[in-house]
Chain A
Amino acid sequence: MTQHAILDPATHRDLRVRTDPSSELGDAVMACLAVPSEFRRLSCDYPIVYRNDPDSGSFTALVLFGFEAGENLYLTDGRWDASVKPLAHAIQPFLIGRSKDSDAPAQVHIDLAHPRVLSGADGVRLFDDKGAPSPYLEQMIEMLGALDEGYREGRAFFEALERYDLLEPFSMDVTLTGGEVNRLVGYHLVNEEKMQLLEPGALAELHAAGHLLPIYMAMASLGHLGKLVDRKNKQAHG
């Protein structure tokens, strides 16, 4: 259940947001949306994969935190064991609100039903006594802007991947040391051979549009799949 509202200093002056990592606060998720502009940052910590959205038929990118629904292997003992978080996760409980007139500036929305939102005195304030945004809210607004921009710019990136037919379905069996098998299905990866076979003109086009860097960053990030299995083994067997 969500309860979205346009963030407003008058109504939400006394709201506070808990910022500590916790599964009770919505961190128990196995994946999160990632935009191409943050691939470089995210590739240091997470595997980045692609997924076809059956509703729109278009591709998006995700970082994986685990292998099954509700599993976040980066979350241990109240700590998020990575140096960065994907924007789409870090901005919770905030959202980007946009009116039907898509040229109008985006607004900051908040999900009042999100478990991070409190009216007590724990957590970080959104506004100071004068109603000015707190440094935390300023940072959130900046991240929302970056996410919004990254998302809109990302469309061209995913269109290019499709145009050159670079994506292929990917599935992975994860065999734990205990013998249990988890299977990752429904994701796509960039096919490296197809990349190799690209014409110089196509490469130049991808390069000029700034798409080459995120393509290779996402490829390099796949090394974290193995580490994710290690995390899973560690969690399963202490």
Chain B
Amino acid sequence: MERHVDHIVVVGGGTAGWLAAALIAARAQGEAGPTLQVTVIEAPDVPTIGVGEGTWPTMRSTLAAIGIDEADFLRECDGAFKQGSRFDGWVSGEAGDSYLHPFTPPPAVAPAALVKLWSESGQPFADLMTAQTKICAAGLAPRQREMPPYNGALNYAYHLDAAKFAGMLSRHATQKLGVRHISDLVVEVEGGENDHIAAVHTRANGRIAGDLFIDCSGHAALLIGDHLKVPWIDRSDVVFNDRALAVQLPVDEASAIASQTVSTAHEGGWIWDIGLPRRRGIGCVYSSQFTEDARAEAILRDYLALAAGDAAQDLPLRQLRFAPGHRTEFWRGNCIALGMASGFIEPLEASAIVMIELGLGALLEDFPADAAAIAPRAARFNALFRYRWERIIEFLKLHYVLSRRSEPYWQAHQHRVNWPERLEDLLTLWRHRPPSVSDFPQSQEIFSAESHQYVLYGMGFAPPQDGQLPIGGLSAARQQLAQIAQKTRHFASALPDNRHYLSALQPTPPSQPAALQVTQ
């Protein structure tokens, strides 16, 4: 039964569904038009969850590949620049307890030399390793308007309004890329032999057959869960958080826009704070084992009062309950699960959207031409994504195990019984040398050795003592750090303010006041 893969059915819209449809359709634009058909079946009136509002720098190449203009994207999705994540109160909870995990890595020289020079400097690790720390603190954009789209002076990603993002992707996919949009409910999945899905049946549009099905139905997991019964692995033993209370705080049009996600630790979890041009998305993440809903609300209300005073007291909160974890498999038969249908974890390092991009990347990199070639790819895909989920969970756990906070929730994170074994080994290793590429050997590691360095040394992990062998590459490292100090001054004077950059993208009124008032 030789058959081309020429109809891809995406079940579910949202960020996952529309990213999948747009990226596959964009890749399928041949010289003589689209080489395959993509259909999105989106349930009408289902609001998107809207927690994944922070991306990774990968989103720049993803948007470019889809064929979306960067300025249009920022305008239509209320987008802003994200240059990293700042962690406030994670180490001790005392005043001044703050560190940045920036997107720009340290210079590409021997990590041991960099760590040695840092340990002698008395400065925060990230301040020394990249200009980005100071640029973020000053609320500056990572790029100048004159730079080519999707390029910056510093590595960057985006904050965005998830509902608007899905809307923009949907418009682009249907109007420019020939994606078919069916607004309907899937009522039945028609299976075949060997976990093959032949078609889905919808309420109003009947039977929709396809060669490859992508399950982006979120929590419902209509294909991978409901139909294929792929088990879910609960990881709440390692990462405890299973609830979030989210709120949107409108902001003044002239207010500063933060250059990074701010994650502020509280007694039983943390609060995300994502700055967009018109609002801040704020959410309190906690664990139902440790914190009552009412207490979480009080914590969030306190944070809002500090951020915005009385104005924020009556804002409506939305609760989100989730089981932290992932499927045992993400690809079975001719079905691939992306987004929340495949796994979900607290949004601490914004792994949700990048995992969708990585899933699509792996699919498109080795796209099955023939229906018979679909299933054999599953094993490799599943091994890769099981590996990635393990790395995400370890990396998130690292943020908790390095804390010295004393509340029961934080103390529970100190119990080694719930540490992943590999993480414990790595921490032992890192007492003697910094995280290195050899600890993260995959070609596309989800969190690099550099990311681990930023968290480790940002949280005050002791730098290694000098070993028997002298540290090499010190003079090259010294040179690089001097260049970064120079670059920092240069960028601080050349990069525009975030708010100014983003406001200027809005259509301007016809007559503008003179740029400069000169008094005689």
What is A's interface to B at a CB cutoff of 8 Å? 3, 15, 20, 78, 112-113, 117-126, 128, 134-137
Contacts and interface: CB of A to CB of B under 8 A. Distances in A.
Nearest to B487: A135
A135 B518 contact: no
Nearest to A18: B146
Given A118-B516, A119-B516, A134 B493 contact: yes
Contacts of A134: 489-490, 492-494
A135 B490 contact: yes
20 contacts: A20-B146, A113-B518, A117-B515, A118-B516, A119-B517, A120-B500, A121-B500, A122-B500, A122-B504, A124-B493, A125-B493, A125-B494, A128-B492, A134-B489, A134-B490, A134-B493, A135-B486, A135-B493, A136-B494, A137-B493
B515 A118 contact: yes
B501 interface: yes
B196 interface: no
Nearest to B145: A122
Interface in B119-151: 144-146
Interface centre among A121, A123, A136 (most CB of B within 10 A): A121
Contacts of B492: 125, 128, 134
A118 to B, nearest CB: 5
A112 B518 contact: yes
A4 to B, nearest CB: 11
B496 interface: yes
Given A3-B518, A113-B518, A121 B497 contact: yes
B110 to A, nearest CB: 28
A125 B493 CA distance: 5
A20 B148 CA distance: 12
Interface in B477-499: 486, 489-490, 492-494, 496-497
B490 A121 contact: no
B302 to A, nearest CB: 31
Interface centre among B492, B496, B500, B516 (most CB of A within 10 A): B516
Nearest to B486: A135
Give the 7 A-B CB pairs with smallest separation, nearest first: A134-B493, A121-B500, A125-B493, A121-B497, A20-B146, A121-B496, A135-B490
A10 to B, nearest CB: 15
Interface residues of B, number: 18
A76 to B, nearest CB: 15
Contacts of A136: 490, 493-494
Contact of B489 (A15, A122, A135): A135
A78 B147 CA distance: 11
Contacts of B486: 135
A120 B515 CA distance: 7
Contacts of B517: 119
A128 B494 CA distance: 10
A85 B153 CA distance: 23
Given A119-B517, A122-B144, A122-B496, 15 more contacts: A78-B146, A112-B516, A113-B518, A117-B516, A119-B516, A120-B500, A120-B515, A121-B501, A125-B494, A126-B493, A128-B492, A128-B493, A134-B494, A135-B493, A136-B494
A122 to B, nearest CB: 5
B348 to A, nearest CB: 32
Nearest to B515: A118
Interface string B190-212: 00000000000000000000000
A128 B486 CA distance: 13
Contacts of B493: 124-126, 128, 134-137
Contacts of A123: 496
Nearest to B489: A135
Interface centre among B490, B493, B497, B515 (most CB of A within 10 A): B493
A126 B144 CA distance: 16
Contacts of B489: 128, 134-135
B146 to A, nearest CB: 4
Contacts of B146: 20, 78
Contacts of A15: 516
Given A20-B146, A135-B489, A119 B494 contact: no
A15 B490 CA distance: 16
A113 B515 CA distance: 10
Contacts of A126: 493
Nearest to B504: A122
Contacts of A121: 496-497, 500-501
A15 B144 CA distance: 16
A124 B490 CA distance: 9
A231 B146 CA distance: 24
B197 to A, nearest CB: 51
Nearest to B503: A121
A78 B492 CA distance: 24
A55 B245 CA distance: 77
A143 to B, nearest CB: 16
Nearest to B501: A121
A172 B144 CA distance: 42
B494 A124 contact: yes
Contacts of B497: 121
Contacts of A122: 144-145, 496, 500, 504
Interface centre among A20, A120, A137 (most CB of B within 10 A): A120
